Each structure stands twice: as structure tokens, then as C-alpha cells.
Structure 1
Amino acid sequence: MDILMAAFLALYLGSAGLVSSLPCPPCRCQVFKNGTMQMNCINTNLTEIPSPPKTGKHKYKLSVYFIGNRLPVLTKKIMTPLQTHQNLYYLSLRRNGIRQISCDAFQSLDMLYGLDISDNNVTNTSLEKSFWGLRNHTSLRLNISSMGLHVSDDFFHHLQNIPDLNITMRNNSLSEIPHTAMKVLRHLSYLDLGRNDFSDIKLPENYTLWTYELRLDNNKFRKFPNFCILNSSRSQFPNLKRLHFKYNKMEDLNSGYYDCLHSLTHLYLDGSPLRILRRNQFARLPKLYLISLAYVGCAMDKIEGFVFNNTALKHIDFHKNHIWINEHNLTMFHGCTSLESLNLEDNILQKMTQNDFDQLFKDLHFLMYLTIGRGGLYYIPRVITSSLTKLRELELYGNGIPSWEDGRLDNLTRLEKLHMRNNRITVITQRSFPEHFIKGAMSLDFSHNIFSCTCNLLWFVEWMKSNEKIISYLSDYRCESPHFLKGTGLLNLTLSENKCLLSQNERIITLAAGGILIVFLVVGAVMYRYRWHIRYFIYMVRYSQRQEVDTREYEYDAFVAYSAADRQWVIRNMLPVLEGYENLKLCVHDRDFEVGKLIVDNIIDAIETSRKIVIVLSNEFAISDWCLFELNLIQRHVLENGQRLLVVVMLEEIDTRHVTKAMRAMLQTTTYLMWGEEEYARKAFFDRMKMILRRQEQN
């Protein structure tokens, strides 16, 4: 504690502005610009209080820190050195082994504003009587923590008429305070009962306290105490603005117990093992400005929608909860239309999609401060840069963000601070930041990223060197690659613009040559991959150019010649598309040949009455005698009536052993359609088939 006190004093001295030091051994006395003087007698083993140094005509406000000494009894006589100073403002007598205090010990300290007698072993009776000397004060800040107190009915009797009274009673193992003791504290403006053993606060019915700040942290509350007067919307703390309820044992919040706190502006519920946050949990607190719910997520089972629905709410602290934010709780911030600050540090957002983030931040258009540290992000959510345009500070540290596209942050025209340390960022260019941020940034932290120290980083390195004052942790900006620069500080790099321009030209030439080679390879691969489609296209162009008008009437649009083994392919693939969707009429021997008629006559009639002839060529077709006979009849008809009548479908590659002279001649003089199992190949096949078989009136 003494180390903390020394640190506090050092901070205070630095902020107040030291003017001079005065001799007052063995203590230290100092005067400050704000018109105050301090006498620090900490751990000096004194047995009496020394007199403050004389300051002539100057009347400084005096603060005395007499801490960690030996002063078992405190009387008016012992306090005499301080009574001579008319402006004694603050007195700390903490940890001096005090056991007895006389009733008049503080009687003549009329200007005393703050009194700290904590960490002493004063008896309850002696302490109660010592308050008599403080009874006429108009304002008093009294600290009686860590004293093993037992509060009697008359404990605060002498303090009841102080108009502005603050009492701190931390760490006293208190589990209750008598009603009669509380009744006299109607003017109590601040009460700190933290680190005690309270499990409930019970005040007399219809009794009110005008306290504006109440601290009940680190007690044993298993449920939220009822601050509302029974059967009424009025509160027993009608002026309460700040309520500290951190680190208790509550698993649930009954909003009916605090909805009556109409003046409440700050609510701290950190560290409570809450299992559920309900819809409109804080909606009926009309002046709620800040809510802190950190360290509550370990046992959290459910977060309902519109939990923080309150248009007055400006700040939400929801960090260190390790809650998975997903589709079940994306609406918890809906209704927070005035929110300015949101801290989501150490929650889990790694499975969130862009649409999920759109939903989560849907109502937060006035947000100015956003923290998502260690959230598992791998990109900057779109909604942040497109909708949260009033952001001044954005903290996305400790994630896995590698980069973002140029101009992504341009909409954040008010951005002043950007902290993205401990990500996976390799390169930062001038287009990574908005122009206004480059010129007017107040704080930047990109330390502990994995920078690639190439010419692409030249601009950032130069910008860092000219803006060192706004960049945090300069020594932690180091190269990760290339390997020969690993560990080198960015400020120590020897990149030059001329060198980078030279290497850039070399890269351009190399890339151009490589690009041309890749284009040739890709074009060649595409032409090989789609060689049949290209052949089909060329054929169809030629076909359309030489197509003659045929005015004859035909019974069928096409006669289909196929082997028995390919019957299922014709029925399942060809007929549903050409007859079902294209309304063409095909002649297939299994269905359309006349029963009882010679097969040869049926084939000749089908050829004569069909506008086109389709041969479904396969290995089974090539080894079938009937199919080869059918092929000869077709070829004779084609020779007499023109090659345009014939359409050849190649179901598979034909084994050269099965290819006859007639078949080879047909394949050499006729462009055929190749069937493929892929979806794109099927579509190309039928597109060309439909073009070939369409009727003249469709042209």
C-alpha cells in the first residue's frame, strides 16, 4: 500500500507542478503551483506529529500524510502542531497503530475536508466519540476502512448534521448496519461499503437516503438488493447516480429491483457470475450513461436481444467476457442509438460474417470509440468503415488481420487514433490510411506486426521517421521478412527511393515477361480443354453459312440411329431435352418403328420421312452388324441428298479396332458433337444440337 501511495503522490506532484521544497525533516514538504502544500511523513518511525513549515504570508492548503508511524493514542494535545495551521485541508493517519482517540482530538481542525484514519485498531467506542470533534464541519470525506468495525445504533450520531458527508468503510467484515444508525445519515452523499460481507441491504420502509454514489463491490450478494419502495415506483435512493456492484455472487438481475433508480447514470456490474441477460434489462433507467459488465461471461448461458436497449446510454464496457458472439446474440446492442463508446476486448468474434457484423452494429451510428482487442478477427468488418463514420478511436489489436484494401478507411473522416498492434500486417502503404489521418493523426500503434521490409514499406518507414511523437512503442516495429532483415527495427532500415525505383523497373519487366508466358500457357490450355467446343463453333458457323432452305414436309425432325446398349442414354438424356423442352419430334426405332414391317423397310421409311439423321456413335454401335448396316443405308441417303442431313454424336472415344472404312470416311468428312458428363459440356452439346435440328420456320 505504501508503494501505491508513493506512486500516487509522484503522479500528483507531477500534475500539480512543483514550485519548491521546504525543510521539515524527517518529513518532506513541497509547495505546488495550484496553491497547495504537502507534508509527507511516510514510514519515518515518528511518535509525534511535527509542525508544518512556516510559509510567511502565504496561505497554502495543507495536506498531511502521516502514515506508517507509531502513534497509539491520539489526543487534542498531540494534534496541536496541526491546529496552528489554519488551512489544514487533508489529513491521513493511516496505519499508525492508533488504539484510542479522544473526543476532542479533531475539534480545532475547522478547515479539515478529508480525514483518513483507516488501518488502525481504534475501539468502536473511542472512534464513535471522536466524531464529536467533527460535528460542525460543512463537508467531510471520512475513511474508516480496515478497522474491524462494529456499527452500533448511535455510531454516526455526531455526524448527522454535516450537510455534505462522504464515508468509506471498506474491508471491515460488516454484514449489516442497524437501521437506527442509517436513519441519521440523510445527508450522506457518498457511501463505500466495498469488501465487506453484505448479502443484502435492508432499509426501513419508506426511508430514503440522498446518497449520489454507493459502492457495494466485493461483497456476498447473491441477488440484487431491492432499492425500490414496495408498491411504488419511488426509490430508497432517489438521488443515486453511481452504483458500484462489482464482484458479487449474483447469477441473475431482477430489473424490478432497480428500475426505480431514475437518477442513475453509472452502473458497474463487473465480475458477477451472471447466467442470463434479459431483453430490455436496463431500458427503464432514463438517465443511464454508462454500464460496465466486464468479467461476467464465464457462466453466461444466454444474451437476449435488445439487452442494452436504452437511448440515453453512451458507454458500454463488455470486455474480458470471452463470450462467443454469434447469430444468437447479434441484436443485444439494438436500441443503443446514442452509444458513443463500446469495449468488446477479449470476446470471441472469429466466426462472425460481414452480415453478422452489419446486424451487431446496426444501431451504433454515433459510435466514436470502439475496441475489439483479441477478438479473433481476420479482417476489418465492412460495417465499421462504411457506417461507423463518426469513429475517433479504433482499436483492433491482438487479432489476425493481415491487411486491408487501399481506401478502405477513407469514410472514417474523424479518425484520430488507430491501434492495431499484434496482428498479421506485413505492408502499409500511403493508401492504407485516409488523407486526413496521415496529416492529423494523434496516436498510431502498429507494433508487433510481421512487417515485410521491402520497397512496398518505404512510404511507411519514411512517415514513421517524421511522425515519431504519435507512434507508440517505436522499438517494437521490426522486420519479419526477408530473412536477412529479420529482427531489424524499421527505423534502422536503409531503404532509398532510387534503389526501390530501380528494383521496381526490374520487377515490371520480369512480371511483364512472365505475364505474357502465362497468357500463352493459359490460352493453349483453354484451347486444348475446349477443343471440341471450338470445333463445334466453327462447324456451326460454316453450317449456318451453307444452310439451304428445305421446303419439304417431314413427319419427323430427326431419325436417331443407335445401338441397343445406348438405348438408356437416348431415353434419359436426348428425348427429355429435345422432345420435352424443344418440342422436336424424333424417330426412335424402339418406339416408332411399325410392328410387323421388315426392319430394313422401317429404317428406309424413317430416313425418308426425317429432316435430319442423328447417329449415336459408340463402341457398341461400331461392333453391331445391324448398326453398321443401318450406317450404310444412311450414308447412301446422305450421298444422294447432301451432307447437311447428317448429325454425328460421339458418346465415347471409338477403339481403332472397331473403326470401319465407311465409319472413318464419315468421321473425316463430318464434324461430330462430343458428349461429356460435365455440366458445361452437356449445355454446349445441347445448344449445338438444338441449333442443328431447329425447323426452317424458326430461322
Structure 2
Amino acid sequence: FPNGSLTIRSSSQALDVSNLKLNDNAMESVVDKLETMLNFSDIRYLSLANNRLTELPADSLLHFPNLEHLSLMYNPLKEFTAESNNRPKIPHLQSLVTLDMRYCGLGVLPADFFHDVPKLQFLFLSHNYITKLPAPLFNRLNKLVHLDLSYMDSSLREEEARMENPFMKLITGMDMDSNVFQPLNKLRFLDLSHSKLDLKAFIALSSLGAKLEYVSYCYTDLPTLMDYLFQMESIKMLDLSGNLGCGRALNELSFSLLRNSLEVLYFKNASIFNLKWMSGLRNLRVLNLRGNFLATLEYGPFNELVSLEALDVSNNFIQSWSCQLFANNTKMYLLNARHNNLLLITTSMLRDFEPLKYLAVGVNTIQCTCNYVYFLQMIMGNSSAVTPQTELNSERSATETIFSIEHLKLYDFDEAEYYCMNFTGKRRVNAIELQICSREDEGGYNNISEPASEEPLEDDVEEYLVIYVISSLLVILALLSLLGIYWYWFYIKYFFVILKNSAILSFFNDDKLYLDKSALVEEAPFNYDVFVSYSDNDRSWVLEEMLPNLEREDLLTVCLHERDFEVGYGILENIISCMDRSRCLMLIVSESFLMSRWCQFEMHLAQHRLLETRRDELILVLLEDIPRRKCPKTLGFLMKTKTYIKWPKERTQEKELFWKRLRKALLTSKC
């Protein structure tokens, strides 16, 4: 059963100790007590599943010398995590045939883990998080027939998944030694589905034995179909679903080594665009291509699939076909074409449907034509409506092809999914309620309305197509606009704030606000040429480098908070007063500046005061490169809208040029 309990009941050969939530000590005690009541030598089936075992019960298992089938699933064995240093192996069970260790938290297996179970034939290790299969792991398992390594993903451990590097998670997976499968010369079934493999691990698949028949590589991130994957040439059933790399790299030689053996192929959700690669698979009986990008079906690829019995092409983009595709597939009895782009049921399609037993064509926007009404009503048992018309009109009976499709079963039938489209009335119609009308052979279709027939209007189809294209373009444009607003929301918001403040200022009645900039500057009582905002960590640079270069010859007057703030006033009042009495504002930008809350405040206040006074004299001096991740949006905006000057670190000539440019900028604002 799924919970690990045994299906064998009332048998002296079976012992079920599953689902009791026993810990290690309790399990050992229970086994000891049961041994006094039962003959453990007769036990062939044992389940210890779904308990709370954190250690492999090796001592308890030794009490069952003739054990053949053992289940340990759903036990959190902590001895096999990466952090554990003591990892035991399966005890000596010479008759063990089946071992189930699914959901056991296995992470790292010792190289000799299975060496004492030489008769093992069925091994289930799925839903663990094994990271590597060492070379000697299967050395003694030369009788193994079935190996399940599916759903092997370390992300199953939630704690590790949160700490895991997302990029590494994309490129890494379970690793295998190149010869790990070489001892398994009797292996017939291998399941690696949903186990992401490391790129090097795929080489190990070349060592698989010649008796392998059933293989699942689905959702393993297989990059392409390498020849060594099929060297054994014995595979009958193959699942490659979900491997996008394989689907895009298919060619006519991809399955050349399996032309005489492959019978069942699952290739779902793999981004397949065409079917030219199917040539030569003469023994293929079942083909599942669900969820790909197929747009058309052609006769050529199916012509050689003479043994094909079941075909699933649902959830693709397949359109109606006008020539018979399956004339050579005489054994075919099932076709699933649900959820495609079928618009018409053509005469050729009716010929292809005739030999089938089971069919699914639901969720297709099929047009209300005579062929579709005939097809649906014949299958649903409304053939009595056809017989009188056929008998009364001898001319029509002589020229019209009658198909025997009454035996067909629409195994997905749902009345809501088998409607037809009346493009004239632009609405859905229940085809079963419509009247049978004349069907013209190969390409002539009469659109049906209730109850008479009408010609299909191509103009309506084109109109829908135009609407669809325009709607798609508008949606794409809207998404791009939203994305742009999301990325540049700060700058858009900042722009509107400036626009709003400018509009408010323009309506003030203060006559000075209507003067030009030069008049405003001349009338303002400026006491300083520049107000400097800097961090305490940059104080030495300001005092030793900047002041001597700017205030020499008494050409410029610099305002510093530690020298020019008036005693007795608040810090905020001093900052605003000094900014208003300075012609220019200068920000000395460094990482220390960005870490200082006062410096951040002075930067925001400088923007606000300049906006209020309609001035733009703001100078940025970069003492060092600022990493983008540390650069606030306000500073980023200023650096994009203001020309800034960068302090050179070494060369004397560059430093002289720096001071020359800075003095010129300040003197220009002074004039």
C-alpha cells in the first residue's frame, strides 16, 4: 500500500510493523518480543515503514535470516546525511529480493552499502536526496532487475533549499561514477525520472547492460540524445518527457539504434516542432507527444510506423489535415487530439477516424460543417436521422461517401467541449441538435445554422484574426509600459514632485519670484560662496586639501558646519540658514557620506531648498567610486542630472586640473 503496509494478510510469512510511529529503541523492543511469539525463520515479507527510525535497524533485521521482501520507506534515517560520519550498510540478508527505501532521507551512501544482499532484484530509492553514486555501490548486485532512482533532488530538504545558491541549483545534480551501472548486466528497468543529473553523470548511462528494456529519463535535464544512451539497442519503452534540449535537437538519426526494439515512446512537454525524426520506428506501438509545439501532421513520418496502435498529440497547435495521414497505420485504435487548433472535420480526417475504436477531439474550436454534424451524430447514436435522407435521395447516395464510424467512442466526451462554432452568428452551437446536410467530398464544407445551411464567411475569420493581433499588440504594449513604470517608478515620482512644486511656486505673489535668475542672485544677501556637506570620516580631506585650495588668495569663502555654524541655534536652523546664505551647495560624496544620516538629510534638504529658491547651483564631488548596490536613488538621480567631478587618487597633474575646474565652477556662479 502507499503508506508502506503489506498487502499480504493473515500469512505466517508476513510481518507488518508499519505505521506505528516507533522510534529506534521501541522498534528493537517490539522485534525482541515478537521473536518469542513467532518463528522469524518463516518470515518472507517485513514492513517497518512509516515509523520514526533515525538509524538503520541492522541488529533487528538479522533476526530474519530468510527475509525476501523488506520495506523501510518513510523513515527519517539521519545516519546517511552529509554531516554523519558513521554510515552503516545493509546487514547480511542472503535471501533478500526486494528492498524499498523510498522517503528515507538518504543523502550519502557508503560504497559497500548493498554488498551483503547479493540476491537483490528490486531496489527502490526514489524521493531521497542522494548526491553521488560511487563506483562500487552496485558491485555485488549482478541479479538486479529493477532500479528506481526517481525524484532524487536535494531541494526536497527545505532547510538546505533555503540556503542553497539558486545558480548552483540550476547547473548541478546527482553525480555518478562512469562505471557505476556496469555490474548490473541483468537490469531491465531503470527509472531516473525527475532526478536532475549532473552533466558528467550522463556518461555513466553508457555502461548500462544489454538487457535494459524499460527506461525513464523524463525531466532529468538531458541536454541532447547522445548515441551512447542507446548502445544496448534493447530498449522497448522509453520516456524522454520534459527534456527541452532533446526536443530541440532531434534529427532523423536520433533513434536509429532503437529502430528494431522501441515499442513505447513518451516525449511530452519537450518543445518538439516536427516529426521527421520518427522515420524507421517500425515496431513503435504507443507514441505520446502531448504538450509540444506541433502545428501540422504529415503523412511521411507516420507512413513507416506500421505497428502504431495509440497516438496522443493533445495540447499542441495542430490544424485540420486535408489528406489521409494514417492509411498505413492499420493497427491504430486510439487517437487523442484534444486541445488543438482543429477548425474543420475534413473528409480525410473522417477516413482516418474510421478504423479507430477510441477518439478524443474535445476543446477544439471546430466550425459547424456538415462533416462535423455527421461525425458527431453518428457516434452519439443519432444515425436514424441520416438513414431516411439517404434512402430518399438516390443521387446523393451514389455520390457521397458513407463512413462507418458508429463504433467510435469519444472517451473524453463532454457536451460543453464538443460544441461547434457558427461564425456567421458568431456563437457556439450544440451540433447534436443540428440537421444533417449534404457533405461534399474533399474541401467543400457548408457552414450550418439552425436549421438551414450557410456558407462560411472568410471575412469573419479575418476580422477575428485582426482583432486578435491588435489585442495581442495592445497587451504586449501595456505589459512593457507597466514594466517600465516599475523599474523607473522613483524617477517618475520625483519628476512629478518637481513639476507640482514648480507649478505651486509659479502662482506665488512674491514679486521676487518673477525676476530672472541673475536679479535674484544679485539681491540675495549671500555671505558664503559655497556650503560644503561632508562626512566626519572625510574631515581631513576637507581641511587639508579643499580649504587651502579654495580659500587661498581670498577669492572664495567656504561655509563649514564645524567652523561657521552659530552657537546657540539648533542644527537644523543652522543648516537651513547657511544653505540660504551660500551661492552654491557642494556634496562631498563617499561611502561614509552615504552611511551618515545627517549627510543624507543635508542632500535631501539641498534639493528642496534649491527648488524653493529656483536655483540649480549644486556641485557633486566624488571622493571614491560608489558601488551601484550602495548608491541611493536620490544620489543616482542627481548623478544623472548634474555634472559631477571626481577626485583623482594619485597623479599631481590631475589634482591640479581638478582644483582648477572646481574653482572655475564656483567663481562662475559668483559672477
Q: Secondary structure at the match of 2:16?
A: strand
Structure 1 distance, partners of 2:446, 2:173, is 67
Residue of structure 1 in register with 2:285 after alignment: 368
Structure 1 residue corresponding to 2:265, chosen from 327, 342, 354 = 342
Q: How much does 1:207 deviate?
A: 4.2
Q: Provide structure 2 residue ranges, at least 5 long, that are not aligned to the other structure.
A: 81-85, 155-171, 382-405, 456-671
Q: How much does 1:255 deviate?
A: 3.7
Whether 1:182 aligns to 2:107 is: no
Distance 1:294-1:95 versus aligned 2 partners, 3 A rule: farther
Whether 1:160 aligns to 2:93 is: yes
Structure 1 distance, partners of 2:305, 2:264, is 12
Structure 1 vs Structure 2: percent identity of aligned residues? Answer: 15
Residue of structure 2 in register with 1:290 after alignment: 237
Q: Is the 8 A contact 1:222 1:249 kept in 2?
A: yes
Distance 1:160-1:416 versus aligned 2 partners, 3 A rule: same
Structure 1 residue corresponding to 2:146, chosen from 172, 189, 213 = 213
Q: Is the 8 A contact 1:105 1:133 kept in 2?
A: no
- What is the number of equivalent residue pairs in this alignment? 391
* Structure 1 letter corresponding to 2:238: I
Structure 1 distance, partners of 2:313, 2:119, is 46
Q: Secondary structure at the match of 2:207?
A: coil
Structure 2 distance, partners of 1:290, 1:219, is 24
Structure 1 residue corresponding to 2:179, chosen from 228, 238, 242 = 228
Q: How much does 1:444 deviate?
A: 0.5
Residue of structure 1 in register with 2:294 after alignment: 377
Superposition map of 1:172-321 within 5 A: 172-179=104-111, 181-202=113-134, 204=136, 207-210=139-142, 211-217=144-150, 218-219=152-153, 222=173, 224-226=175-177, 228=179, 235-246=182-193, 247-253=195-201, 255=203, 258-259=206-207, 261-278=209-226, 280-297=227-244, 300=245
Q: Is the 8 A contact 1:106 1:134 kept in 2?
A: no
Residue of structure 1 in register with 2:74 after alignment: 145
Residue of structure 2 in register with 1:333 after alignment: 255
* Structure 1 letter corresponding to 2:231: R
Q: Is the 8 A contact 1:461 1:490 kept in 2?
A: yes
Q: Secondary structure at the match of 2:375?
A: helix
* Structure 2 letter corresponding to 1:418: L
Distance 1:253-1:237 versus aligned 2 partners, 3 A rule: same
* Structure 1 letter corresponding to 2:307: K
Structure 2 distance, partners of 1:509, 1:89, is 70
Structure 2 distance, partners of 1:505, 1:160, is 73
Superposition map of 1:644-663 within 5 A: none
Structure 2 distance, partners of 1:455, 1:262, is 54
Structure 2 residue corresponding to 1:425, chosen from 334, 342, 360 = 342
Instruction: Map Cα deviations across residues 530-572 of structure 1 (whole Å, 9 max, x no partner).
Output: xxxxxxxxxxxxxxxxxxxxxxxxxxxxxxxxxxxxxxxxxxx
Q: How much does 1:445 deviate?
A: 0.3
Residue of structure 2 in register with 1:680 after alignment: none
Q: Is the 8 A contact 1:410 1:433 kept in 2?
A: no
For the aligned residue pairs, the C-alpha RMSD in angstroms reads: 4.2
Q: How much does 1:417 deviate?
A: 0.8
Q: Is the 8 A contact 2:446 2:454 kept in 1?
A: no
Q: Is the 8 A contact 1:262 1:287 kept in 2?
A: yes
Whether 1:472 aligns to 2:412 is: yes
Q: Is the 8 A contact 1:141 1:166 kept in 2?
A: yes
Q: Secondary structure at the match of 1:411?
A: coil
Q: How much does 1:460 deviate?
A: 0.7
Q: How much does 1:365 deviate?
A: 2.9
Instruction: Map Cα deviations across residues 166-225 of structure 1 (whole Å, 9 max, x no partner).
Output: 222233333334455533221222222333343333365994223222333305684652
Q: Which has the higher Rg, Structure 1 or Structure 2?
A: 1
Q: Secondary structure at the match of 1:291?
A: strand
Instruction: Map Cα deviations across residues 654-688 of structure 1 (whole Å, 9 max, x no partner).
Output: xxxxxxxxxxxxxxxxxxxxxxxxxxxxxxxxxxx
Q: Secondary structure at the match of 2:98?
A: strand
Q: How much does 1:447 deviate?
A: 0.5
Structure 2 residue corresponding to 1:121, chosen from 52, 60, 66 = 52
Structure 1 distance, partners of 2:358, 2:87, is 55
Distance 1:251-1:165 versus aligned 2 partners, 3 A rule: same
Q: Is the 8 A contact 1:226 1:258 kept in 2?
A: no
Distance 1:472-1:130 versus aligned 2 partners, 3 A rule: same
Distance 1:120-1:241 versus aligned 2 partners, 3 A rule: same
Q: Is the 8 A contact 2:190 2:216 kept in 1?
A: yes
Distance 1:182-1:105 versus aligned 2 partners, 3 A rule: farther
Q: Is the 8 A contact 1:227 1:237 kept in 2?
A: no
Structure 1 distance, partners of 2:108, 2:447, is 80
Instruction: Map Cα deviations across residues 400-419 of structure 1 (whole Å, 9 max, x no partner).
Output: 33322254433332221111
Structure 2 distance, partners of 1:179, 1:252, is 19
Instruction: Map Cα deviations across residues 208-255 of structure 1 (whole Å, 9 max, x no partner).
Output: 2232223333056846523638xxxx9333333323333133124554
Structure 2 distance, partners of 1:257, 1:397, is 31
Structure 2 distance, partners of 1:260, 1:371, is 25
Structure 2 distance, partners of 1:409, 1:257, is 35
* Structure 2 letter corresponding to 1:345: K
Q: Is the 8 A contact 1:154 1:180 kept in 2?
A: no
Instruction: Map Cα deviations across residues 131-168 of structure 1 (whole Å, 9 max, x no partner).
Output: 2442233x2232243332427676533x523x243222
Distance 1:227-1:93 versus aligned 2 partners, 3 A rule: same
TM-score, normalised via structure 1 length: 0.48
Q: Is the 8 A contact 2:291 2:314 kept in 1?
A: yes
Q: How much does 1:105 deviate?
A: 4.7
Residue of structure 2 in register with 1:324 after alignment: 248
Distance 1:374-1:483 versus aligned 2 partners, 3 A rule: farther
Superposition map of 1:498-537 within 5 A: none
Structure in which a larger fraction of residues adopt helix:
2
* Structure 2 letter corresponding to 1:156: I
Distance 1:346-1:176 versus aligned 2 partners, 3 A rule: closer
Structure of greater relative contact order (alpha carbons < 8 Å, 6+ residues apart): 2
Q: Is the 8 A contact 2:248 2:271 kept in 1?
A: yes
Q: How much does 1:498 deviate?
A: 9.1
* Structure 1 letter corresponding to 2:50: D
Q: How much does 1:504 deviate?
A: 8.0
Structure in which a larger fraction of residues adopt strand:
1
Q: Is the 8 A contact 2:248 2:272 kept in 1?
A: yes
Q: Secondary structure at the match of 1:182?
A: coil
Q: Provide structure 1 residue ranges, at least 5 long, that are not aligned to the other structure.
A: 10-37, 39-60, 64-84, 304-322, 512-699
Residue of structure 2 in register with 1:44 after alignment: none
Q: Is the 8 A contact 1:186 1:208 kept in 2?
A: yes
Residue of structure 2 in register with 1:633 after alignment: none
* Structure 2 letter corresponding to 1:424: N
Q: How much does 1:128 deviate?
A: 2.7
